[in-house]
Each structure stands twice: as structure tokens, then as C-alpha cells.
Amino acid sequence: MNRCISESADYLPVLSEAHASLTHEVTAVDERGRHSTIHIPAERPLTVYVDTREIVTLMTLGGAPEALTLGYLRNQRLVRSLEDIVSIQVDWSVDAVAVVTRNGIADVEERTAKKVVTTGCGQGSVFGGLMDEVDRITLPEDARLPQSVVYRIVETIRTQQSVYKQAGSVHGCALFSNAGKLLYFVEDVGRHNAVDAIAGLMWLDGMEGGDKVFYTTGRLTSEMVIKGAQMGIPFLLSRSGTTQMGHMVAERVGMSLLARCSGKHFLLLAGHERLVFDLDVLMPIPAPRLDYYPC
């Protein structure tokens, strides 16, 4: 996990620093009967307790469990302020995380009663109405992204060291500046967990999203778009595609969606006015002239 330390909030909860192996060795036998040792991603349950009340069990790689817990609580709108949280303590010996709040969560039973199970790996879920807060989200109207930065982001992801390159079967999410600088990179067994972990890191570092770009290897479903909007990010990029509802939410909040990002190719599906095209970046390098000889 890459982390960019920026100006922090005035108050930070006490966090554990839990560590766990991100890969696991297994013996594989190929089609010719040959044995080999390969790495596969870890997957472990993390049960979230808030003030001793069980909230949810997340299946996770385990690379950023404290940030994942914090981002989950934020994106589910269960906690509104960082100052409301006293501590987040992960204990892998019991596969659990204990969250202590300052004053509890008001109406926690009512707020966690309605759950929408969303699409995609990891069976993401959102408490309350999926669209409850979409209409109250405002993204910066003047946010723009040069085409050249899109290519810089795609190339950075391509060369990023990752669990995926070693073991496969995980999703990666990343946060970039609008100049293409990598700020955070998180992998997990589900893209929902990875985006929540980045939301948690942004919250801890007091980082705003208005001048940021979010990248994911997974599909841009409605939940991913809503979470990006909740983080205040006007640009979402994916090497995969989007869904109808993801597209609808993006248009509703004025977010740019760029899908099928690979090499120099992408499909801009929403928020067309935000992308600054620069066709020069697509021009091939001119062939050397043959009518003269250099000295």
C-alpha cells in the first residue's frame, strides 16, 4: 500500500498497526502432471464491531485493515466526523476490529437495518437507500483533466508493483493528483474494500478529492461511482467498463467516467466537458527524412 502523508486533521483516532501476509503458497499440478509452488492472494474475514455491536464482516486481503474499517464507516455514512472515533484496533488472532466511538452512533439499529447488496465481487453493501445522498453531492464545476495525464496514470498503474502481478485474483484502486502523481495504491479481494481503504486514508490525511483522479481495475458500478462522489472526486478511470446505473449516477452528479483505459485507448462515457483533449499525444513519431544526411 502506497501512502502520501499530507496535512492531518486536528484529531486522529488511535490506530493499531496490524500486519498479515498478503499471499499464501500452495502446490499446483498442471495439465502435464507437473508440480509447482505458486502464490495466491490471502483472504480473511474481518468482523467490524462498533462499541461492541457487530456491524459487518468484510472479506479482505488484509493489507490496510484500519483504513478499510474507517473508510467503510465513512462511506456507509455511519460516522460523519473523524473526531467521533476514539480508536480502531485490529486483532487478526480473532479476525476482528474493535471501533470505539466518542458518543456512539445515533439510531444505529435503524440505520443498519436496510441493506442493499450491490453487484460485483465481494458482494458490496450499502446501508440505507443507495441514492439517498446523491442529490446533495456537488463536485467542482471547473475540474479539468488533460488527456496526457490519463495516459500517465494508465502507464503508472501498468508498472506499479502489486500483489496482482505476483498472485493475481485481486483488484487494485489508486488515487492520483490531477497532474498524474500517485498518492495511494491499495489492493484487496474486492474493489469495494480497496476504495473504502483509500477513503479512510484520505480522511486520516485530511485530503480533499476535488483535484484528484480515482483509478480502479474493476467495473464502475453504481456503488463505486457513489463512493467516488462521496469522496468528492470528479474523475473515475477504469480498465474495465461501467453499468447502466453507474453511468446514470455519474451523469447525475457531473462526474467524468473513463472506461476501457488501456495504453492510449479509453472511452469517455460521462462528463465529457471535463476532459481536455490533446491529439498531439496520439501522433506517431515522424520517420527520419531520407533526403539529407546529418553531419
pLDDT tens by residue, 182-195? 999 999 998 899 99
Cβ neighbours of residue 90 closer than 8 Å, sequence gap 6 or more: 16, 18, 46, 65, 66, 69, 96, 97
pLDDT at 147: 95
pLDDT at 106: 80
**pLDDT over threshold 70, residue 292:** no
pLDDT at 87: 97
Mean pLDDT for the stretch of residues 122-135? 60
Q: What is the pLDDT of residues 3-42, one digit of tens each?
A: 554 444 467 899 999 999 999 999 999 889 999 999 999 9
Please indicate whether residue 261 is annotated as part of the active site. Answer: no
- In this structure, the number of other CB atoms found within 10 A of the CB of residue 281 comes to 14
The CA distance from 260 to 280, in Å, is 21
Average pLDDT, the chain: 87
The CA distance from 169 to 122, in Å, is 12
The CA distance from 79 to 69, in Å, is 11
pLDDT at 293: 40
Q: Catalytic residue, from 121, 173, 261, 295: name it.
A: 121
Q: What is the pLDDT of residues 43-69, one digit of tens each?
A: 999 999 999 999 999 999 999 999 999
The CA distance from 277 to 21, in Å, is 43
pLDDT at 291: 47
pLDDT at 62: 94
Q: What is the pLDDT of residues 209-245, one digit of tens each?
A: 999 999 999 999 988 999 999 999 999 999 999 999 9
The CA distance from 283 to 5, in Å, is 37
Mean pLDDT for the stretch of residues 142-157? 96
